[in-house]
């Protein structure tokens, strides 16, 4: 358990990350570590001249991170940024899919708000490793909006609308006039590497732009990681490919895909001279392949392993 002093008002922006870290100290030390590291990075940028109270909090964070890294030196997801990024991406996606599934099934309660809330926090933490992908950026925006929206609905005794909130433009273009949101609940297609996530409306309904604090009555009740995994695994594990017609997706059908004329054959003697960046990229392909196998997505695993092999053998990144 980290012994971090209470944040002064000037460090309020990092409180969300510290709270998320505290909730994961026992559940997932990797999430706890990177949440506190992100909090430290944000805190250092908030003010140029630090007050004694600010310095005390930030120094405590530094000490905790240094000690934890020594204790967890054998934990690759703490010592290796590539492994850490893959771990956090999977965890954020798992929480997001759990919350989205509950939302679309209209099972509203504290767990849904908490899962959306935490997914948004983890996506923030992922910016530690660089710019987010388009999918992750969209996912983060949607999770934060949904957490605020459902929280306000429950607080005001209103029934939330499941899924993305329809807009006048989207309803006129993509949805028949007599359709209702409840008549078209569609779970997002699940791909561990490049998931197809629900679209975020261009103009969101009037909800707070800042992320709301979760009431103390929620008792930090994040769903157990295994429970969330089981819930997410119930989604159809069928990959999706973009529909040529805008506005929809069609199931992936191997029989309709072109077969490559020739598959490259590599020998043990063909090994390229790689730069550190290329080695890191190959490691990432392997991590993605392992992630895909965790969700029984064999095709995605094969694709990433082939990409890694071609990069190692030829030095050319096939992506």
Q: What is the DSSP string of 99-130?
A: HHHHHHTT--SHHHHHHHHHHHHHHHHGGGGS
- Which helix (H) or strand (E) segment holds residue 302: the answer is helix 298-314
For residue 227, give the nearest of 95, 133, 106, 127 by alpha carbon: 95
- pLDDT tens for 151-203 read 999 999 999 999 887 654 444 333 333 333 333 333 333 333 333 344 443 33
Q: How confident is the model at residue 275 (pLDDT cuts 50, 70, 90)?
A: confident
Q: What is the pLDDT of residue 69?
A: 93
Query: Residue 18: which pLDDT band, with cuts at 50, 70 and 90?
Result: very high
pLDDT digits (tens, 9 = 90+) for 89-115: 999 999 999 999 999 999 988 899 999
Q: What is the pLDDT of residue 3?
A: 80
Tell me the residue ranges of DSSP E strands in the chain.
Answer: 240-242, 249-251
Please report the pLDDT score of residue 296 as a whole number. Answer: 64
Report the distance separating Cα 16 and Cα 172, nearest Å.
Answer: 39
Is the pLDDT at 47 greater than 50, yes or no?
Answer: yes
Among residues 205, 196, 120, which one has the least CA distance to residue 161? 205
> Residue 58: is its pLDDT beyond 70?
yes
Residue 127 vs residue 224, higher pLDDT: 127
**What's the pLDDT score for residue 41?**
94
Contact, 42 vs 64, CB < 8 A? no
Region class of 260: left (phi > 0), else alpha (psi between -120 and 50), else beta: beta
Q: Would you give the distance in Å from CA 179 to the centre of its chain? A: 31
pTM of the model: 0.55
Domains and CATH numbers, the chain: 9-165+220-235 (1.25.40.270), 263-314 (1.20.5.420)
Predicted local distance difference test score (pLDDT) of residue 166: 62
């Amino acid at each position: 358990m980290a012994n971090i002093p209470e944040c002064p008002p000037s460090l309020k922006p990092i409180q969300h990350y510290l709270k998320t870290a505290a909730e994961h100290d026992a559940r997932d030390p990797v999430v706890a570590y990177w949440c506190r590291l992100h909090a430290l990075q944000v805190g250092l940028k908030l003010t140029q001249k630090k007050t004694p109270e600010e310095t005390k909090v930030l120094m405590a964070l530094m000490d905790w991170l240094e000690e934890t890294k020594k204790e967890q030196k054998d934990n690759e997801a703490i010592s290796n940024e590539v492994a850490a990024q893959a771990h956090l991406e999977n965890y954020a996606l798992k929480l997001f899919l759990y919350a989205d599934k509950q939302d679309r099934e209209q099972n509203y309660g504290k767990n849904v708000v908490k899962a959306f809330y935490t997914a948004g926090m983890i996506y923030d933490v992922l910016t530690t490793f660089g710019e987010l992908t388009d999918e992750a950026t969209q996912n983060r925006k949607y999770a934060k909006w949904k957490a605020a929206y459902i929280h306000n609905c429950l607080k005001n005794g209103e029934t939330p609308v499941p899924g993305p909130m329809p807009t006048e433009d989207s309803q006129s273009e993509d949805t028949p006039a007599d359709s209702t949101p409840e008549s078209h609940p569609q779970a997002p297609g699940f791909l561990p590497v490049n998931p197809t996530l629900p679209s975020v409306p261009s103009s969101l309904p009037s909800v707070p732009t800042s992320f709301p604090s979760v009431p103390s009555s929620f008792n930090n009740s994040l769903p157990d990681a295994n429970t969330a995994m089981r819930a997410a695994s119930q989604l159809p594990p069928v990959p999706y490919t973009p529909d040529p017609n805008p506005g929809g997706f069609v199931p992936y059908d191997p029989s309709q895909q072109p077969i490559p004329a020739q598959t490259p054959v590599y020998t043990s003697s063909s090994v390229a001279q790689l730069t550190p960046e290329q080695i890191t990229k190959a490691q990432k392909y392997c991590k993605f392949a392992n992630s895909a196998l965790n969700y029984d997505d064999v095709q995605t695993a094969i694709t990433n392993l082939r990409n890694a092999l071609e990069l190692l053998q030829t030095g050319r990144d096939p992506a």
